[in-house]
């Protein structure tokens, strides 16, 4: 449920500009301040304390109807002025699309909005900032899970809509429903849930839709994420319907491309060419407000208040696939400007972005909901800052971030030495032979290999490998505490083993990611040390983050405890890199500035040149193809077919109730394997199912080996500060013949369900990147591309943005972990629901494997298509996104399909 940021209430004042509000406008609002230079007549507004739903507001408060003593004829004749920027208070209803609105408003308003969750401020605080400090010009109420009829879902929003009648307000999705509900309309189940699909929109030509076409085949198509709607028949006279669907049929994304060209705002976010770009652009025309069509099939998509500057939109203007979404935000800005400038035409010259660094200290008193079965936890109480940077004019919410300017650990000055060997990789047998010969002996204990074993179409270029090395090497093993009460943020126990094998254990009250952040911030280095290296990992932490670390990223608790450690990392001070594109080999070694270099570089160079290109013993092994299903081959599932399908049905009910748009339900299969050669298993898996983000990790002290053939990147931060996510949603098996394979590929490409899944996660990842990226920088260069792998076709999108300079690498991970493709949307509510449905911890599955380089870059995958070998057992996780279009039996079959490749690799190797 994405929404638009717009607000229309005159309680949003410009700091240091008095006279824009009335001294006694609403007796329900505590002591609104008096604007200097503006005298309001007491009889200009009629307020009935006994009937707040039917208040009559003087028409001088309505945009476009400034008549009477407050605006003289000479003033009205003056040319309209434009505010330098518009200041928005964005209320977040715990949604996963709020920061898409944030990004859009940042561009349109000229100033990023301030984001506050719906239970973070008291009503007294709200009135203070709106009426006494005059900090905002409008309010936008975000989408969110649940219903406006549930106080825990809607928080302070109903009171804002009821009592802030003199401030422009725009409600999106849940915010739209709240506008209807607070004035007496009924919120009911929609004729069908619609999530990640598009509808053509007809509107009445009001100012919110200025310069936007209307009706069927007009080019105005919008993305919908909702299961509930306002019953149009229940609208009170105060609310005016302004938009409807123009037919009863929702469309898939690619269906909309057959007749439309994207809007300019849309094309600014989509960087790749599509079929629609070859079609002549449909120009905006005059609206036809009252086109007749079958009313029984239409769904109410927009409302406005008859006497207040309040608007609601059921659809999501901020979605990447909504046409003319940015124009809607521009129109709301213009409504806000006109509203204030007609009250005070010279206000623009006095406008400043923030009065006395307002909101520098914002008390956040979050209210916890009950722990009943149908209620979900909110974040624990905390205080945070909303910082205004006058130079950059940017607000940033840091309440959930761990950025530290003064690391508590000692500063380490690191020096890097490296050597390059041109065109050596193929001469010595390639990456596989190099790893086996240099690091594969002694069961490859305490080794790592980030293995780009699928390099077709330039999906990946570099592989990184190494083992226990020099004096800086160490292993971190982290386990969350057993405590899971709502006031506990998730600390745990960290075991540290250094290069000499000496262990120590500490308790991390603030959690592992906070510790990792401090470690990375403690490294000092000279950029000239790695000039000339074409990759970003030059040494640092390499390992995995387990799914349960979601408790350090906003989730209150874990229902299930992981059998394996919740995070394991090596600090790699020596490593070897293979450039698959140029066939080059690099060796790198890190040491502290005050320490003497080790001979590792010279020793490794000697070993490399002694290698032969002949196959190793493991390469000569052959395996009989497995024909049995995973279950018949000895794997047992945590949930039976019937149980899994029942869980899918429960997910569908949650979706119908508006609790989620998409739930990524998972389960695991397991088999006892006893003593095996785990490296041999991994080599066989990479041969059968090569992948661009594959990985091998061996933590021998934990009896833990990870064999991953993941095709999915979670998140990468490069040295230029660019963040990139590549979520996968939509999977289908390869065909037996070339013709069948092409048919399967097209079937995936044009699957309405898979397009809806992918679009929802793209918008979610845009939101997650939007929390930490520069305003206006988040874009989608590739949307719903189909990529082919050894056993499956997948639908992949790419989202990029420019990281804000004041944030760390770990801040970025915390904003987006776990990957949205493994959770669903809205993310927090979906994860809580999934915790109640799934019978065990996901453990390493659904987490991330990769590196955090000492130079503040990182690259992490999504742990899927992975065999985890732990204490004599092999486990494989799999699942799929449940959406309104899902079929339980099909979902079960998709889950089984995703286990096939790794399960077959295990069966063939045993």
Tokens standing for residue 874 = 């092999």
Beta strands in 36-179 (DSSP E): 88-92, 114-117, 138-141, 167-172
Task: Report the length, in residues, of the chain.
Answer: 910
Q: What is the distance between the alpha carbons of residues 807 and 434, in angstroms, rounded to a whole number?
A: 37
Maximum alpha-carbon separation in the chain: 95
Q: Shortest CA distance to 335 belongs to which of 12, 3, 776, 2?
A: 12
Selection from 118, 233, 234, 146 nearest residue 183 by Cα = 234
Is residue 150 flagged as an active site residue? no
Q: Which two tokens stand for residue 465?
A: 């490998």
- Cβ atoms 385, 398 nearer than 8 A: yes
Residue tagged active-site, from 173, 354, 664, 812: 173
Which of these is catalytic: 316, 324, 580, 591? 316
- If you ran DSSP here, which 8-state letter would residue 277 be given? G
Backbone angles phi, psi at 422, to 5 degrees: -70, 130
Distance CA 337, CA 339 (A): 5
Which stretches within 79-164 are classed as H helix?
98-109, 123-127, 151-154, 157-163
CA distance 743 to 736: 11
Selecting among 200, 318, 662, 774, the annotated active-site residue is: 318
* Alpha helices by DSSP H, 771-877: 809-816, 827-837
Nearest to 823 by CA among 663, 659, 648: 663
Token pair of 109 as six digits? 């308003």
Distance of CA 111 to the CA centre of its chain: 22
Dihedral (CA of 485, 123, 658, 323) sign = negative
Examine the residue annotation and report whether 173 is marked as an active-site residue of this protein.
yes
Distances (CA, A) of 666 to 96, 636, 840, 864, 899: 20, 15, 10, 11, 11
Strands (E), 288-434: 300-305, 310-313, 386-389, 394-397, 412-421
Q: Is-contact 575 889, C-beta < 8 A?
A: no
Rounded Cα–Cα distance for residues 366 and 828 (Å) = 16
Closest listed residue to residue 782, CA positions, set 320, 453, 458: 320
Task: List 170's β-bridge partners, or say none.
Answer: 6, 311
CA-based end-to-end distance of the chain: 47
> At 256, is the secondary structure helix, strand, or coil?
helix
How far from 822 is each of 358, 561, 591, 817, 828, CA to CA, in Å?
38, 18, 38, 10, 12
DSSP reduced 3-state for 481:
coil
- Its sign, for the CA torsion 554, 560, 561, 563, is negative
CA within 13 Å, CB half, 757: 28
Q: Outline where DSSP puts E strands in 660-744.
A: 662-672, 694-699, 704-708, 713-717, 722-726, 728-733
Taking the C-alpha atoms of residue 755 and residue 736, their distance in angstroms, rounded to an integer, is 24
Neighbours of 908 (CB within 10 A): 17
Characterize 586-610 residue by residue with b for buried, 16 or more Cβ atoms within 10 angstroms of its Cβ, and e for exposed: bbbbbbeeeeeebebbeebeeebee
Q: Report residue 214: phi and psi, to 5°.
A: -145, 145
Q: How does DSSP classify residue 384?
A: B
Return the active site residues: 173, 316, 318
């Amino acid at each position: 449920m994405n929404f638009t940021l717009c607000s229309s209430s005159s309680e949003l004042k410009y700091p240091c500009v008095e006279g824009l509000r009335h001294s006694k406008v609403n007796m329900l609002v505590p002591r609104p301040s008096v604007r200097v230079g503006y005298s309001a007549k007491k009889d200009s507004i009629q307020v009935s304390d006994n009937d707040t739903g039917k208040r009559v507001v003087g028409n001088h408060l309505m945009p476009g109807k400034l008549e009477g003593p407050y605006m003289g004829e000479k003033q009205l004749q003056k040319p309209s002025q434009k505010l330098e920027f518009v200041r928005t208070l964005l209320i977040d209803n715990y949604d996963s699309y709020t920061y898409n609105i944030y990004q859009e408003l940042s561009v349109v308003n000229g100033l990023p909005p301030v984001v506050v969750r719906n239970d973070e401020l008291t009503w007294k605080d709200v009135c203070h900032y709106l009426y006494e400090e005059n900090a905002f010009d409008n309010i936008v109420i975000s989408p969110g899970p649940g219903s406006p009829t549930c106080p825990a879902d809607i928080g302070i929003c109903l009171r804002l809509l009821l009592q802030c009648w003199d401030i422009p307000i725009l409600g999106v999705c849940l915010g739209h429903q709240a506008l209807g509900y607070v004035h007496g309309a009924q919120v009911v189940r929609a004729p069908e849930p619609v999530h990640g699909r598009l509808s053509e929109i007809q509107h009445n030509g009001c100012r919110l839709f200025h310069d936007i076409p209307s009706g069927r085949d007009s080019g105005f198509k919008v993305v919908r994420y909702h299961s509930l709607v306002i019953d149009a028949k229940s609208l009170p006279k105060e609310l005016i319907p302004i938009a409807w669907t123009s037919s009863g049929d929702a469309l898939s994304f690619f269906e909309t491309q057959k007749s439309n060209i994207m809007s300019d705002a849309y094309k600014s976010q989509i960087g790749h060419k599509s079929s629609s770009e070859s079609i002549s652009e449909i120009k905006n025309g005059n609206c036809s407000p009252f086109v007749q069509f079958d009313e029984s099939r239409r769904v109410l998509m927009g409302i406005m208040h008859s006497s207040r500057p309040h608007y609601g939109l059921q659809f999501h203007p901020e979605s990447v696939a909504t046409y003319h979404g940015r124009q809607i935000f521009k129109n709301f800005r213009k409504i806000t400007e006109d509203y204030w400038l007609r009250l005070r035409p010279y206000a623009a010259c006095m406008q400043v972005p923030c009065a006395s660094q307002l909101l520098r200290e914002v008390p956040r008193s979050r209210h916890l909901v009950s722990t009943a079965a149908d209620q979900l936890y909110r974040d624990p109480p905390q205080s945070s800052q909303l910082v205004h940077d006058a130079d950059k004019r940017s607000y940033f919410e840091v309440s959930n971030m761990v950025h530290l300017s003064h690391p508590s650990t000692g500063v380490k000055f690191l020096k890097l030495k490296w050597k390059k060997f041109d065109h050596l990789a193929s001469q010595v047998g390639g990456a596989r032979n190099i790893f086996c010969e240099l690091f594969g002996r002694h069961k490859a204990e305490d080794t790592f290999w980030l293995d780009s074993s699928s390099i077709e179409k330039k999906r990946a270029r570099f592989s990184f490998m190494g083992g226990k090395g020099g004096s800086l090497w160490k292993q971190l093993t982290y386990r969350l505490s057993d405590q899971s009460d709502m006031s506990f943020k998730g600390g745990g126990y960290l075991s540290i083993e250094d290069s000499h094998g000496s262990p120590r254990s500490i308790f991390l009250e603030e959690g592992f990611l906070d510790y990792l952040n401090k470690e990375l911030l403690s490294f000092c280095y000279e950029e000239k040390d790695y000039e000339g290296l074409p990759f970003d990992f030059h040494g640092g932490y390499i390992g995995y983050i387990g799914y349960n670390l979601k408790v350090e990223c906003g989730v209150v608790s874990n229902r299930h405890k992981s059998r394996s450690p919740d995070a394991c990392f090596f600090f790699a001070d020596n490593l070897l890199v293979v450039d698959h594109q140029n066939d080059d080999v690099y060796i790198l070694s890190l040491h502290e500035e005050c320490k003497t270099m080790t001979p590792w570089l010279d020793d490794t160079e000697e070993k490399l040149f002694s290698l032969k290109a002949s196959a190793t013993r493991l390469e000569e092994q052959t395996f009989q193809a497995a024909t049995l299903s995973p279950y018949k081959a000895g794997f047992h599932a945590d949930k039976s077919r019937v149980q899994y399908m029942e869980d899918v049905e429960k997910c569908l009910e949650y979706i119908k109730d508006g609790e989620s748009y998409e739930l990524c339900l998972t389960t695991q299969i397991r088999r006892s394997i006893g003593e095996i050669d785990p490296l041999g298993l991994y080599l066989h898996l990479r041969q059968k199912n090569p992948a661009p983000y594959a990985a091998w990790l061996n933590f021998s002290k934990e009896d833990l080996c990870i064999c991953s053939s993941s095709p999915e990147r979670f998140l990468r931060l490069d040295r230029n500060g660019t963040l990139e996510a590549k979520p996968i949603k939509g999977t289908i098996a390869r065909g037996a013949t070339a013709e069948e394979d092409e048919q399967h590929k097209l079937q995936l490409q044009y699957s309405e369900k898979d397009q809806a899944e992918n679009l929802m996660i793209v918008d979610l990842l845009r939101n997650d990147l939007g929390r930490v990226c520069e305003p206006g920088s988040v874009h989608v260069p590739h949307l719903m591309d189909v990529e082919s792998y050894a056993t499956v076709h997948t639908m992949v999108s790419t989202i990029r943005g420019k990281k804000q300079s004041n944030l760390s690498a770990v801040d970025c991970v915390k904003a987006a972990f776990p990957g949205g493709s493994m959770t669903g949307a809205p993310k927090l509510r979906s994860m809580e629901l999934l915790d109640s449905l799934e019978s065990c911890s996901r453990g390493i599955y659904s987490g991330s494997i990769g590196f955090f380089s000492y130079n503040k870059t990182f690259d992490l995958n999504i742990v899927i298509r992975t065999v985890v070998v732990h204490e004599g057992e092999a486990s494989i996780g799999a699942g799929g996104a449940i959406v309104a279009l899902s079929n339980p039996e099909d979902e079960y079959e998709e889950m089984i399909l995703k286990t096939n490749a790794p399960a077959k690799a295990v069966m063939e190797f045993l």
